[in-house]
Structure 1
Amino acid sequence: MSLLSQIGYSGVRAMQVALTATGQNVANVKTPGYSRLGVEMGSLSGHTALSSGRGVQVNNIRRIADDFVNRQLWRATSDQGLNETRSKYLDSLESLMASEGANISGGLDNFYAALSEATSTPDSIALRQQILNEAKALAQRVNGLSNNIEAQLNGLRGQREAIVVELNGLTENIALLNKRITHVEASNGDAKALRDQRDALVQDLAELADVRVQEAADGSFSLSLANGEPLVAGPTAARVALENNATKDQEFTLTFAGTEFKLGVDVAWGGQLGGLHDAEYNSLRATQETVGQIAKGIADLFNGVLNTGAFDVNGNPGQDLFTYKAGSISQVLEVKDLAPEELAFSSNAAEPGNNVKLLELLTLKNQTVPGITIGGATANVTLNDAYATLLGGVASASRQSQADAETSKSVQAQAQSQRDSISAVNLDEEGVNLMNYQQAYQANLKVITTAGALFDSVLGMF
């Protein structure tokens, strides 16, 4: 009878543990990153071949998580961070370039239209003033576009600095959790909640950078970048810093265990940092450089006509209309302070009404400019075609980036759903568990009651 009671008591204790684990799951149904608990039970063998056994024991309370699925989720999160960050900047760049106030092709068309209108009366002061106005408007478009791209670059650099601060905070916290987890588990303590917290931090870190995760035998994580640069090893975290060089590049420096690594600007970060690098060097900077080349082409083409065998209304030799300033951002193209009479449209000093040079200016619309780099390739194209091709390339890259962002978002959602199907709490499933464990608990109490009744019956025989 005593053995029957022990079996019943073991069942009661096991069901109490199972009910507690289920209650913990239900309580954390809305806790982000929580991994549900599962109770593993084992039968206790009897002492002899004729024994039915000695009841049940709880072998383990398991944190239900799949490391492979978690790593898939972290990689998907990193890809999503990269694509969404890049898409945001490309979309802004496309909107900027296509806007009426920044479209260089529109400014060139207006300038050519003003030149064409003056061909019949090239000595008209009013029409000459209109040409100067359109030249200034064209320069303003060029400068405004260059300046706005620089503003986006400055915002991007500021975002990179903020991400580095966040990254350092995450790696430090992960290293701290590594230390706590190894200490708790070494003393046979419960580190399940700590592991959930660490997984959540790793996912936050994966959004910022593409990280590789390895778990050591002591339960600690080692994190590194795709190229192997260490970020966390056990209780030790790296520290990342940014340095601005003379060319406005932000170079990374990584310090780990007293050793400093220069990572440069092209380290394969992935995540949001990778998206920022792609947007800066493959889109914003490249576009700004091409805008500068177009500005130089404008100055070279038009000045080449106006200061070569050309004369103004007063018979004076022609002067440059545009000034190109290499290396400038907000004043890359300027219009010289000329009076309308000083525009050199005549090929004869004695004929102020001569329009030969004016007509020659109009032919520049179809003249190619050598050495303009668009999309990484150098081509000889007209000024209008250069900008149209540049805008088309940015628009195409923006659409592709948006598609990549949508795809990566869907992949990340699927990876999250797969993780949740394994680790997240399902209230329907937990409700069934509660009923089953409650019934088993009551049944074990019935076993104890029955054992007591049998024992009382035996005593009553004496």
Structure 2
Amino acid sequence: MSLFNIGLSGLNVAQNALTTTGHNFSNAATPGYTRQSTIIASAGGQFTGSGFFGQGSSTVTVQRVYDGFLTGQLRTATSASSELSTFSSQISQIDNLLADQNAGLAPLMQKFFAAVQTVSDTPGDTAARQGMLSAAQALTGQVKASSDYFKQLQDGINTQLTSSVRQVNDYTKQIASLNKQISQLTAASGGQPPNDLLDQRDQAVSELTKLVGAKVVVQDGNTYNVFVGNGQPLVMGSESYDMTAVPSAADPSRITIGYTLPNGNTVQSEDGSVTGGSIGGLLRFRSQSLDQAQNAIGRLSLAIGQVFNNQHKLGIDLNGATGTDLFSLGQPTTYANANNKSNAVATATITNAGSLTTSDYSLKFDGTNYSLTRLSDNTVVATSTSLSGISADGISVSLNGPMSANDSFLIQPTRNAAAGFGTLITDPAKVAAASPARADASTQNTGSGTAKLSGVAQGFTQLSGKITAKYTGAGYTFTDALGNVVTPTSTAASGTGTDYTFSGLTFHFDGTPKAGDTFTLSSNSGATADNGNALALAKLQTAKTINGTSSFNDAYASLVNQVGSDAKSASIASESQDSITTQVTSAQQSVSGVNMDEETVNLLKFQQLYQANAKVIQTASTIIDTLLSIG
């Protein structure tokens, strides 16, 4: 091996190293670029009688300065950051709506019941009655606005999921294509790594993990297989399998994630199986926060509406007519599963708004029994073997025909109920503030007996005429205006007195009457100053009407506190995860990133190496010229 060739080999090595260093410099700001290093080795020695003389150096390969463990950590951290960031930004929108002191429901509920209290104070004041109706309209308007906002968020999630799935498919196709190119170029180059393509593939995987939590399995040393969910493949070698955004089989109003299997079939993902990335954050927000908030507002509207309507119908208005519904109520939503084999239709009705939960329900048939499952805790709350109906938690579900085995229905009692919340009364005179009946003692009574209207049952009938109650010394007899005996529909002892009921109106007689004392029971029509029913309506504000434990304000405050707590926790978790991701990024970049100072040192080192080897060649040339001149 000549000195000239040794110098030339060093010159080539130095040039290759300078090229690699220049490549690092030019890609210092390229996303996903991994610093490259020229691997130099001795060309070996040649045996002579005087020993082995070196033959110079050679470039073995150009390889990435790459740490697979740190890169995997960074993918996981990035996916978690994206999920938490998406969840936090989404739930903050609900938190801002519910906690708003001006646009929230709490101040409007307070204003409404304050207006009801004003009516109870001045029941004959038309302005007070109009104020109550206006407050009711403001309350229902805000409930509807909240419902519309939640519906927009649901639609927005559907749109975002569809868009994100398209991006996922673009990346998986890119990864599969890069797998193929990398395999081909590696084979064609005799095993030399195509570093820039490897960087492009890692960058594509990194972008993919921002969208969805993906697991990467390296096959045969250089091929990436990518899986999501419960092991569903997205990339297998040079083949990619599309993720799909399809209407849910259980609820066609919402988009869910599906997969295209290697055999070409498409299946929907199970709830909770898709996590990580912005897609995981959207799905988590929808199932854990948005659905619950929407259901809670729906339940609140049903509770206020049904409880208030029931009490309002126990009074009479300024025209003497029995009260009617003040609020219109939304209805439960029922969806037949797309895979059902029967044509049965399920219908759900609200039987008791005060017993409602904020959960959805599933009605299933196993071939023998119908079961109603509360999905929030996966508890079977009712079973039946007949089609006559199945009831629990304030709802009743009936069928128009038999279900086939394994058929199912999704029941959403409160999800869209707030959209149907409205006011039905616009005439102030129709506010039923007065009690429907009264009991008046005769001025001729000598005893200390008392009588009053103590209870009104739903569906009562107003008294058509006056009823005279006369104490005989042993009890009361009841006669109408013509002297005919009127028999109470029921009589029952109550405390120290006795209750007598006439067509749903219960009068309580107490005290110590004397024989001959009389009381007149009559309709309260025309009593514009009576506030008996208005007082009962005002008391509903603090009554524990929801599951016997919460008032309307309590239920709303619980929702606000829950959402606020979740939003704060999500924000803290997101900031914490971002910090972790930053640390992992720094660790990965400390190994694989381009360090300008280090590359500058390398540039100078290889420049000097180049110059030194040029001197070797120059020296070899001088020696040859000298030898030739001697010859």
Give the TM-score taking structure 2 as reference length: 0.69
Q: Matched residue of 2:46: which SS?
A: coil
In 1, Cα distance between the equivalents of 2:297 and 2:247?
24
Structure of larger gyration radius: 2
In 2, Cα distance between the equivalents of 1:275 and 1:253?
17
In 2, Cα distance between the equivalents of 1:108 and 1:289?
18
| Among 277, 280, 288, the residue aligned to 2:283 | 277
| Among 262, 273, 276, the residue aligned to 1:267 | 273
Show CA shifts across 1:13-72 (max 9, x none): 111111111111112122211112101111122233712321111112111211111111
In 2, Cα distance between the equivalents of 1:247 and 1:45?
71
1:107 partnered with 2:108: yes
Q: Matched residue of 2:123: which SS?
A: coil
1:343 partnered with 2:519: no
Q: Residues 297 and 418 of structure 2 are in contact (CA less than 8 Å); yes or no, is this contact kept in structure 1?
A: no
| Among 311, 330, 337, the residue aligned to 1:325 | 330
Show CA shifts across 1:58-88 (max 9, x none): 1121112111111111111101110111111
Shift of 1:407: 1.6
Shift of 1:344: 1.0
Q: Residues 143 and 329 of structure 1 are in contact (CA less than 8 Å); yes or no, is this contact kept in structure 2?
A: no
1:252 partnered with 2:421: no
Show CA shifts across 1:319-375 (max 9, x none): 12112112446633111134111111111323221111111112112111234xxxx
| Among 368, 392, 403, the residue aligned to 2:544 | 368
Q: Residues 102 and 142 of structure 1 are in contact (CA less than 8 Å); yes or no, is this contact kept in structure 2?
A: no
Q: Residues 6-21 of structure 1 correspond to what in structure 2 (within 5 A)?
A: 6-21=5-20
Aligned residue in 1 for 2:563? 394
In 2, Cα distance between the equivalents of 1:265 and 1:247?
15
Q: 1:108 corresponds to which letter in structure 2?
A: M
Shift of 1:456: 4.2
* CA distance 1:45–1:120, change in 2 (3 Å): closer
Q: Residues 280-359 of structure 1 correspond to what in structure 2 (within 5 A)?
A: 280-308=286-314, 310-327=315-332, 328=416, 331-347=419-435, 348=437, 349-350=524-525, 351-359=527-535
Q: 1:170 corresponds to which letter in structure 2?
A: Y
Q: 1:193 corresponds to which letter in structure 2?
A: D
Aligned residues: 453
Q: 2:44 corresponds to which letter in structure 1?
A: S
Q: Residues 175 and 235 of structure 1 are in contact (CA less than 8 Å); yes or no, is this contact kept in structure 2?
A: yes
Q: Residues 302 and 418 of structure 2 are in contact (CA less than 8 Å); yes or no, is this contact kept in structure 1?
A: no
Q: Which has the higher strand share?
A: 2
Q: Matched residue of 1:119: which SS?
A: helix
* CA distance 1:126–1:133, change in 2 (3 Å): same
In 2, Cα distance between the equivalents of 1:404 and 1:45?
57
Uncovered stretches (5+) of structure 2, i.e. residues with no partner: 333-415, 438-523
Shift of 1:205: 0.3
Uncovered stretches (5+) of structure 1, i.e. residues with no partner: 372-378
Q: Residues 307 and 318 of structure 1 are in contact (CA less than 8 Å); yes or no, is this contact kept in structure 2?
A: yes
In 2, Cα distance between the equivalents of 1:413 and 1:123?
68
Aligned residue in 1 for 2:227? 224
Q: 1:112 corresponds to which letter in structure 2?
A: F
Q: Residues 94 and 398 of structure 1 are in contact (CA less than 8 Å); yes or no, is this contact kept in structure 2?
A: yes
- RMSD in angstroms over aligned alpha carbons? 1.8
Q: Residues 292 and 332 of structure 1 are in contact (CA less than 8 Å); yes or no, is this contact kept in structure 2?
A: no
Shift of 1:388: 1.0
Shift of 1:421: 1.5
In 2, Cα distance between the equivalents of 1:138 and 1:280?
26
Give the TM-score taking structure 1 as reference length: 0.93
Aligned residue in 1 for 2:519? none
Q: Residues 373-388 of structure 1 correspond to what in structure 2 (within 5 A)?
A: 380-388=549-557
Q: Residues 133 and 425 of structure 2 are in contact (CA less than 8 Å); yes or no, is this contact kept in structure 1?
A: no
Q: Which has the higher helix share?
A: 1
Q: Residues 168 and 239 of structure 1 are in contact (CA less than 8 Å); yes or no, is this contact kept in structure 2?
A: yes
* CA distance 1:236–1:412, change in 2 (3 Å): same
Shift of 1:122: 0.5
In 1, Cα distance between the equivalents of 2:283 and 2:236?
26
In 1, Cα distance between the equivalents of 2:417 and 2:180?
50
Aligned residue in 1 for 2:619? 450
Which 10-residue stretch deviates more, 222-231 or 331-340? 331-340
| Among 212, 215, 231, the residue aligned to 1:212 | 215
In 2, Cα distance between the equivalents of 1:320 and 1:12?
96
Shift of 1:380: 2.7
Q: Residues 15-94 of structure 1 correspond to what in structure 2 (within 5 A)?
A: 15-48=14-47, 50-94=51-95
Q: 2:429 corresponds to which letter in structure 1?
A: E
